[in-house]
Amino acid sequence: MSVDEDKIVRKMVAEIADSNEKFVSHSHDIENFKRIVPVLLEKGIDNVNLSMFDEATRSKLLNALGEEYIRRGNMNDSVKAFILAGNRQRLVEVGEHYEEVGLFSNAIDTYRLADANEPLLKVGRKCLENGHFADAIKAFRLCNDAESLTKVGDECFQKGKWDYAIEIFSAINSSHKLVEIGDKCLKERQIGYAAKAYDKLSSLGDVCLREGLLATALKTYQLAGNDMMVQFIRENFGNKLSSY
């Protein structure tokens, strides 16, 4: 859009704001705003400026713009419009559309933007049932649902999805599960995965040590086979570890 066209748009919007103050204050019919939606579409959601309108009017215009984006199949920009409008319900509905067509990662991102935990849990369970472990993990982590994450981790363990299992049990600080993975992988000669699981254990030990959880750090390093850090703790904090 040229500079002159941009000035025309700004003037048009300002005139609409000035001449329709009464209408804007009392009307709830979004159809009346659709006459300027084509202009907003031409500018694009990333460039449109509606600062001359009051909050209620901006919301109506953005919602109208979002609906038009949906009609045109432009879901990404519809999400942007509904975010700016604060329309959580329509964001959830867009997420449901993504879910219906199998775009689970997009659905999860949209539910997150809508701060909608229940749909997140629902899509997470669906992803787990259908073996979409990465998406299930993403959904449950956003919900801070440790119980569901453990279920995903156990499922990944049973199916030998070691990367996912290690990621999950590291995230929820489950040292005994990491040991179980490490031992299982070592037994099956999956040396790389075994090392990764034990390395995650040492990382957990580092976190515990930084937070002053000496006994837990010592136990974690022992499970990880990190003799150097076990010796470090015993020699420097032995007086605080009488029970060990």
Distance CA 241, CA 244 (A): 5
pLDDT at residue 126 in the model: 94
Instruction: Indicate whether 220 belongs to any domain.
Output: yes
Q: What is the DSSP letter of 240?
A: G
- Structural domain including 177 reads 150-244
The b-or-e profile of 213-232 (16+ CB within 10 A means b, else e) is ebebbbbbbbbbebeebbee
CB 11 within 8 A of CB 19: no
Q: What share of the chain is helix, strand, coil (3-state, %, to 5)?
A: 75, 0, 25
Distance CA 160, CA 198 (A): 16
Instruction: Indicate whether 169 belongs to any domain.
Output: yes
Closest CA to 30 of 55, 54, 65: 65
Instruction: Indicate whether 160 belongs to any domain.
Output: yes
pLDDT at residue 29 in the model: 46
pLDDT at residue 19 in the model: 41
Instruction: Indicate whether 233 belongs to any domain.
Output: yes
The b-or-e profile of 12-23 (16+ CB within 10 A means b, else e) is ebeebeeeeeee
pLDDT at residue 127 in the model: 93
pLDDT at residue 135 in the model: 94
Instruction: Indicate whether 89 belongs to any domain.
Output: no
Q: What angle do CA 129, 133, 135 make, to 5 degrees?
A: 100
pLDDT at residue 32 in the model: 60
Cα–Cα distances in angstroms (integers) from residue 3 to residues 9, 40, 78, 221, in the given order: 10, 15, 26, 65
Would you write out the chain's pLDDT as a tens digit for each of its 244 residues?
Answer: 444 554 554 454 445 445 444 434 434 445 566 677 888 888 888 888 888 878 888 888 899 899 999 999 999 999 999 998 889 999 999 999 999 999 999 999 999 999 899 999 999 999 988 989 999 999 999 998 989 999 999 999 999 999 999 989 988 888 888 888 988 888 888 888 887 887 777 777 787 788 787 787 777 777 777 888 888 888 887 776 655 4
Instruction: Indicate whether 105 belongs to any domain.
Output: no
Number of helices (H), then strands (E), in the chain: 15, 0
Instruction: Indicate whether 164 belongs to any domain.
Output: yes
State the total domains in the chain.
Answer: 1
Closest CA to 62 of 73, 43, 115: 43
Residue that the structure tokens 């984006």 belong to: 69
Instruction: Indicate whether 75 belongs to any domain.
Output: no
pLDDT at residue 171 in the model: 85
CB 69 within 8 A of CB 42: no
pLDDT at residue 9 in the model: 43
pLDDT at residue 218 in the model: 79
**What are the structure tokens assigned to 236, written together?**
């420097």
